[in-house]
């Protein structure tokens, strides 16, 4: 049921928002002087890497080499800030859902070095497709603001946020229900 729902809704979503994705891609290409699509390797189901697709919201600054982003990150362009706030940068992930790399609801896919390092019972998180939203995503919807208030954002992410996300994501997998998925989608849209 979950995969059928994902396929049907992502198809409808791509049809309805395709024009927004094209406009955002074009604007981001001009704004960042690079491809308007940002692609990055993430860890998916069974620890298998896949390429996530988003609208590019950041420019390259050679002196900054981190995957942790805060609200004060100088790499985020003004247009990129708008795309992030409006969640327009997330729309191309509908293609990841359509292709079966992701689901609408599940643990957010992490970059290599986090989810692929899970051990013991925590590896249950890798038994399902990662998602666009879920309990951890909703709890940390202001993650960039939280990290901006930390003296050492990368360390805080590694020692506080990531372990809490693992706990929430384990709970999601261990207590899965399609009804809860619909609630997470609802709270993502209205929140």
157-162's contacts with Cβ under 8 Å and 24+ in sequence apart are 157/68, 162/114
> What radius of gyration do the chain's Cα atoms show?
16
What is the tens place of the pLDDT at every residue in 55-101?
999 998 888 887 788 888 899 999 999 999 999 999 999 999 999 99
Residue 113: per-residue pLDDT: 85
What is the tens place of the pLDDT at every residue in 12-52?
999 999 999 999 999 999 999 999 999 999 999 999 999 99
Q: Strand, helix or coil at 16?
A: helix
- Is 191's pLDDT higher than 80? no
In order of 41, 72, 91, 98, 169, the CA distances from 130 in angstroms are 13, 27, 15, 13, 10
Q: Which domain range does residue 144 map to?
A: 2-190
- Per the CB < 8 A criterion, the answer to whether 116 and 47 are in contact is yes
Nearest-CA neighbor of 103 among 22, 176, 165, 191?
176
- In the block, residue with structure tokens 């074009």: 26
Q: Strand, helix or coil at 103?
A: strand
Residue 70: per-residue pLDDT: 83
What is the tens place of the pLDDT at every residue in 128-180?
999 999 999 999 999 989 999 999 999 999 999 999 999 999 999 999 999 99
Residue 146: per-residue pLDDT: 94
- Per the CB < 8 A criterion, the answer to whether 184 and 133 are in contact is yes
Residue 71: per-residue pLDDT: 82
Distance between CA atoms of residues 54 and 132, nearest Å: 11
- In the block, residue with structure tokens 């925590």: 122
Residue 33: per-residue pLDDT: 94
Residue 188: per-residue pLDDT: 92
In order of 12, 53, 175, 191, the CA distances from 93 in angstroms are 13, 6, 25, 19
Q: State the total domains in the chain.
A: 1
Residue 72: per-residue pLDDT: 84
Residues 120-125 have a mean pLDDT of: 95
Residue 24: per-residue pLDDT: 98
- Per the CB < 8 A criterion, the answer to whether 102 and 44 are in contact is yes
């Amino acid at each position: 049921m979950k995969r059928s729902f994902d396929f049907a809704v992502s198809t409808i979503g791509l049809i309805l928002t395709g024009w927004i994705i094209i406009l955002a891609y074009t604007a981001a290409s001009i704004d960042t002087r690079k491809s308007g699509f940002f692609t990055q390797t993430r860890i998916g189901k069974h620890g298998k890497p896949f390429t996530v697709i988003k609208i590019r919201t950041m420019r390259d600054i050679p002196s900054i080499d981190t995957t942790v982003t805060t609200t004060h990150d100088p790499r985020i362009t003004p247009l990129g800030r708008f795309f992030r706030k409006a969640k327009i940068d997330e729309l191309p992930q509908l293609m990841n859902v359509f292709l079966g790399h992701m689901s609408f609801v599940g643990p957010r896919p992490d970059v290599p070095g986090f989810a692929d390092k899970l051990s013991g019972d925590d590896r249950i998180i890798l038994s399902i497709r990662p998602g666009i939203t879920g309990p951890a995503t909703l709890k940390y919807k202001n993650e960039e603001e939280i990290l901006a208030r930390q003296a050492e954002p990368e360390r805080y992410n590694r020692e506080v946020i990531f372990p809490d996300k693992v706990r929430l994501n384990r709970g999601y997998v261990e207590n899965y229900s399609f009804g809860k998925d619909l609630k997470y989608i609802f709270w993502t849209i209205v929140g």
